[in-house]
Each structure stands twice: as C-alpha cells, then as structure tokens.
Amino acid sequence: MDAKTIISILVSLLTISSAIFIVVLQRKTERIKIIENQLSEKKYKAYSELVGIFYNIFKDVKNNTPADNGNLISQLIDVKKDLFIYGSDDVFRKFTTWLSFSTENQNDLNHMNYFLDLMLEIRKDMGKKNTSLTKNEIMLNLIQDKKVLDEFSEYWK
C-alpha cells in the first residue's frame, strides 16, 4: 500500500470515529436533558403541593371550617419526602426551618416570617432568581387588608 491509500484509510476511520463519537455524545446529552426535565417536573409538583397545602389551610380558616388533620399530616409527609428528593438545598432548609419553628412555637406568629422566606425561596428556585416580591406583598395578596398587614408586618421585617 502506498502512502496516499494509508492516509485515505486513516482519514476515513477518523471521520467515522468522529461521527460515532458525536452521535453518542448527542444521545447522552438528550438523555441528560430528559432526566433533568423529569426531575424538574417532580420538583415543581412538590413545590406546588406544598403551596397547595398552605392555601387549603387558608381556605379552611377563611371559611371557618375545621381542617382534616389526618389528611393534612399525610399530605405534609408526602411533601417532605418529595422536597427531600427533588427540592433544592435552600428550599429544603427553609422548609425545615419553618416546620421546626412552627412545631416548637405553635402560637407564635413569627412562623409567618419563615413561611414567607420559604415562599420566596421557592419562587427563586423556580426560575425567578431576581424576584422583587417582598414578604409584605405576599401577605397583602393573602390577607387583602393593609391595616391588618400593618399590624402583623412586624413579624416578618
């Protein structure tokens, strides 16, 4: 074999090898994206369920209906599990801080401070890294009364 033939064979082999490498790399990249999307969906679902639990409690309070504590505890345990597996570290820590404070200080309204921190952290983790919402804005949205907000805003300053 002459040098031109050997070079032609080497170039062909390198081209084929490069093409195979690119295909394998693209497939791995696609699989990583699929896995990331699945994890992201589960994380957002966990965050949505946590916020949903709070709003369901809020509805019960507004409607003066008793909460179903058994169901609430079950939902909360499921959310704990999902946040542990799928939530960001910062959201997990804020959630744990809020739960711990609420458990240890059941009649202390300062738990709203920790809850609002958790809500803001969830917003940040869901892609709103530069959210400009404040705790007062979230509370005003919830209670819709500026006078009541002014009375309680000392708890989350």
Name which residue leads in pLDDT, 157 or 15: 15
Q: What pTM was computed for the model?
A: 0.75
Q: How confident is the model at residue 149 (pLDDT cuts 50, 70, 90)?
A: confident
Please provide the average confidence, as pLDDT, over all residues in the chain.
Answer: 89
User: Which runs of E-coded beta strand occur in 22-83?
Assistant: none
Look at residue 156 and tell me whether its pLDDT is greater than 70: no
Average pLDDT over residues 61-80: 86
At 92-144, the pLDDT tens digits run 999 999 999 988 998 888 888 899 999 999 999 998 889 899 999 998 998 88
Cβ contact 83:50 at 8 Å? yes
Cβ contact 83:155 at 8 Å? no
Distances (CA, A) of 103 to 25, 107, 108, 111, 142: 49, 9, 10, 9, 22
